[in-house]
Chains A and B, each alone.
Chain A
Amino acid sequence: MSISEGAACVAGGGSHRLVAEVQVGLGPEGAAVDARRRRAYVTCSRSDQVSVVDLDRLEVIDQVVVEHEPIDAVLDEQSGRLFVCNLRSSSVTVIDTAAGRVEGTVAVPPYPSALAKDLGRRRLYCGCAAGAAVAVIDMDRLELLATVPAEVGAGGIAIDTRRQRAYCANFLSDSVTVIDAVSLSALGSLRVGPSPCAMVLGEANDSIYVDISGSDSVTRIDLAEGRVAAHIPVGRVPVGIGASPAGQCIYVGNRGEGTVSVIGAAGDVEWGRIPVGEAPAGIAVDPQTGWLLVSNTGSATLSVIENLITGPMPRSPDPTGHPLVGRQLPSFELPDLRTGRLRHSREWSERKYILNFFASW
């Protein structure tokens, strides 16, 4: 862990203050905050654990073993239970946070990818990508109540409690399924753009924001009108999203470039970007401090950030420019997955090629 303090640590042209970079388990994806107990819970997909972070000391104080590939987490403050969806186990693990132990498990359809809670009805929603469905769990009885059909790639969920509707982003179907939260039935769907991912409720303007990872943008759905109201360009490959406590800012984790976009809710415009760790994903906000907690899947860290962006920031002449462009590619020597043999960049001399950096997650 490293902790930065004071004005000298303000980086990124005044965009933010890096409060800490906390080393967590491998492949951190989702994060949830318990503001009262000063804890953050980070799902570490490659450690099959949840890292428990003390938000005052900014260090990991516990690791809770769950099932295979935990992706997202939601805290129920009333019961003190943490719900964690495990992608490759097709399950939701329930953790008693006071005791720091697993309390139970609920089976759900294949590839549970994201969670959201409906506190009024005491229900947990879970988007299940391969099951093309949304599982609805009773948060008190820890039972599966219903499985609502969605579309392939069902994942990110947001709840509109005012109208008693749930929205589920279908990553592989470019759509959002609208669900009646009373009858637990699908009402229809909206076309939103390629590869929609995480969603968050924007209370300041009665909207839901959806990461559109395939077009480097965020779509805003106007809940009163039930239609797509805006497409907001952000950084490359947005997959994580969160909102400031008052809802005036929407934060977007750009997995393709290691940044967080800050969107001003009032104007449907990106105000600026904050550099974070490698391949960021989930974003949570500590309501007590307003700090952003960003899970960096690549660097296995949790960035704790104070956002200093309060309006549109000046842009560089070419925001997509990269220092490598126009320069000789540094040589490489890396093992081949299939043969184990070292491959040198000399093999491709006088060839044109694309190097595609990827991760299986």
Chain B
Amino acid sequence: MLEALRRRAGRFGLDVILVDVWEGAEAAVEARRYCEMWGIEATVLLDETAAYARMLGVRGVPTDVFVDERGMVRAVGAAGAQELLREATRLAPGLKDEHDPGQGLGRLPAGFSADAEEPDSPRSSR
């Protein structure tokens, strides 16, 4: 979902940057595996000690922080699809009117085999 949004949002001047936290061990290896699994091409930064997340008061994942062109935080949270799109549209109103072709909005990771939407993490099925 987020990768699909990133592809659409770029032409409206909205970037999506992923920040990997709390991997526990081998953060780069795990983050790379995750990105390959989900086809994520966005910029991915590593916050291995979670120091930046804690500075921002991030207590869980996924958490989205929406930043405007003045560097001001406009919203924090928004993990669900509707909430994410709503807050993204507040930053980039053009997203609202753009036709969503539905392509690439959801894909399954390697090894999964039905037409379902992309989750935030395959592990969350616990």
Contacts and interface: CB of A to CB of B under 8 A. Distances in A.
B31 A355 contact: no
Contact of A172 (B9, B50, B66, B125): B125
Contacts of B74: 325
B18 A356 contact: yes
B20 A328 contact: no
A330 interface: yes
Interface in A14-48: 26-27, 29-30, 45-47
B116 A322 contact: no
Contacts of B2: 356
Interface in B19-71: 19-25, 28, 30-35, 43-47, 50, 52-53, 55-69, 71
Given A280-B60, A330-B55, A357 B65 contact: yes
A354 B76 contact: no
Interface residues of A, number: 89
B22 A351 contact: no
B120 A195 contact: yes
Interface in A210-256: 213-216, 236-237, 239, 254-256
Contacts of B71: 328-329, 345, 349
A298 B13 contact: no
Contacts of A197: 124-126
Q: Identify the interface centre among A130, A213, A298, A332: most chain B CB within 10 Å of its CB.
A: A298
Given A237-B60, A356-B16, A155 B126 contact: yes
Nearest to B106: A172
Contact of A355 (B64, B113, B116): B64
Interface stretch (A50-58, A59-67, A107-115): A107-115
Contacts of B18: 356, 358
Interface stretch (A136-144, A201-209, A303-311, A335-343): A335-343
Contacts, number: 278
Given A351-B69, A353-B14, A354-B66, A72 B88 contact: no
A359 B23 contact: yes
A357 B19 contact: yes
B19 A358 contact: yes
B124 to A, nearest CB: 5
Contacts of B116: 152-153, 172-174
- Interface residue SS majority, chain A: loop
Contacts of A266: none
A237 B120 contact: yes
A218 to B, nearest CB: 14
Contacts of A239: 124, 126
Contact of A360 (B20, B60, B111): B20
A359 B22 contact: yes
A191 to B, nearest CB: 13
A281 interface: yes
A29 B121 CA distance: 14
Given A236-B60, A336-B43, A152 B112 contact: yes
Nearest to A349: B71
Contact of A330 (B56, B59, B92, B122): B56
Given A239-B124, A328-B72, A357-B65, A279 B60 contact: yes
Contacts of B19: 334, 355-358
Interface of B: 2, 9, 13-25, 28, 30-35, 43-47, 50, 52-53, 55-69, 71-77, 79-81, 87-88, 91-92, 108, 111-114, 116-117, 119-126
- Those 4 A-B pairs whose CB atoms lie nearest each other, nearest first: A258-B59, A171-B125, A155-B125, A26-B24
Given A45-B123, A71-B123, A110-B111, 18 more contacts: A130-B112, A132-B113, A152-B108, A153-B122, A174-B116, A239-B124, A279-B60, A282-B126, A299-B22, A322-B77, A337-B20, A337-B32, A351-B69, A353-B67, A354-B16, A354-B17, A360-B121, A361-B123
15 contacts: A129-B112, A152-B114, A213-B119, A236-B60, A237-B124, A281-B126, A337-B31, A352-B91, A353-B15, A354-B66, A357-B47, A357-B62, A357-B63, A358-B18, A360-B121
